């Protein structure tokens, strides 16, 4: 895993909103529409956001849930605490974080933050722990960054404006991305891997395409009993 805490330094975090929040209104509007649907149990809903960053989503939905954010960057969390003083924040690595079983009604992962993990095994381990941390009928909402989207990034208006570039490692699911924070080493399994992992554990698994890079995957209402999640990618 790339040293996320080193990339997301104080200087980089000061410019983060201008790069990854302000230019993406359609994506964030899709987030709020889906979250409005999922936060249907009132303010007692317990919501865990993994790799919460600067807590944009918590800030815009204050009062809708009891919110807990986890991030490996102390600099990001410093800004999160200002943006969402009503929330609880934990500084921890996604590889080692151990959420309490059966504790949450909603777990989210935005901006494909799982991509920083080294391989599918680490991603599957994280998501398996997330499933276990849900109460029965709880849901998971992940913004999936499919590997196919990486090939089109360099032709996007965002890349042209910023000069940022990505490069896929051959035909593998690994890629690198360079911006003002430095070199990001990433891994993007196909969306079908996530669907297969959640299949049989939830009432419904749906993928919504926002027309840009992200696919919004919602595993809706965890079943009280279901098969163990897969540790290996399908196919």
The whole-chain average pLDDT of the chain stands at 91
- pLDDT given at position 93: 94
Q: Of 19, 46, 25, 26, whose CA–CA distance to 177 is shortest?
A: 19
170 in any annotated domain:
no
- pLDDT given at position 234: 34
86 in any annotated domain:
yes
pLDDT in tens, 68-110: 999 999 999 999 999 999 999 999 999 999 999 999 999 999 9
Cα 58–Cα 135–Cα 122 angle in degrees, nearest 5: 75
Domain count, the chain: 1
108 in any annotated domain:
yes
Query: Going by DSSP bridges, is the β-strand pair 66-71/88-91 parallel, antiparallel, or unpaired?
Result: parallel
166 in any annotated domain:
no
Q: How confident is the model at residue 233 (pLDDT cuts 50, 70, 90)?
A: very low
60 in any annotated domain:
yes
Q: How confident is the model at residue 32 (pLDDT cuts 50, 70, 90)?
A: very high
Structural domain boundaries, residue 75: 4-148+189-222
Contacts by 78-82 with C-beta closer than 8 Å and gap 24+? 78/10, 78/13, 79/13, 79/16, 79/54, 79/55, 80/52, 80/53, 80/54, 80/55, 81/55
- pLDDT given at position 231: 40
56 in any annotated domain:
yes
Among the ranges given (125-139, 181-195, 204-218), the one the predictor scored with the smallest mean pLDDT = 204-218
Find the CATH number of the domain harbouring 56: 3.40.50.150
DSSP state of 54: T
SS3 49: strand
Give the integer Cα–Cα distance in Å for 4 and 12.
11
pLDDT in tens, 131-183: 999 999 999 999 999 888 887 788 888 888 898 988 988 889 999 989 999 99
82 in any annotated domain:
yes
8 Å CB contact between 122 and 232: no
- pLDDT given at position 100: 95
167 in any annotated domain:
no
Token code pair at residue 164: 């940022």
Most confident of 10-14, 15-19, 139-143, 212-216: 139-143
């Amino acid at each position: 895993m790339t040293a996320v805490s080193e990339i997301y330094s104080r200087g980089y975090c000061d410019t983060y909103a201008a790069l990854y929040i302000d230019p993406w209104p359609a994506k964030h509007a899709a987030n709020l529409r889906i979250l409005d649907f999922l936060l249907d149990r009132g303010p007692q809903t317990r919501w865990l956001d993994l790799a919460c960053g600067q807590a944009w989503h918590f800030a815009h939905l204050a009062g809708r849930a009891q919110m807990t954010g986890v991030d490996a960057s102390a600099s990001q969390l410093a800004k999160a605490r200002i943006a969402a003083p009503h929330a609880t924040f934990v500084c921890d690595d996604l590889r080692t974080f151990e959420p309490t079983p059966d504790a949450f009604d909603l777990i989210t992962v935005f901006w494909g933050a799982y991509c920083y993990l080294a391989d599918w095994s680490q991603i599957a381990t994280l998501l398996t722990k997330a499933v276990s941390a849900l109460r029965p009928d709880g849901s998971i909402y992940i913004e999936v960054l499919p590997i196919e989207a990486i090939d089109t990034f360099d032709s996007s208006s965002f890349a042209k404006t910023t000069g940022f570039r990505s490069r896929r490692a051959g035909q593998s699911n690994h890629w690198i991305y360079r911006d003002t924070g430095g070199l990001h080493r990433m891994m993007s399994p196909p969306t079908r891997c996530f669907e297969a992992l959640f299949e049989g554990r939830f009432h419904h698994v749906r993928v919504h395409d926002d027309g840009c890079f992200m696919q919004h995957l919602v595993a809706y209402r965890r079943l009280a009993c279901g098969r163990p999640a897969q540790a290996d990618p399908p196919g």
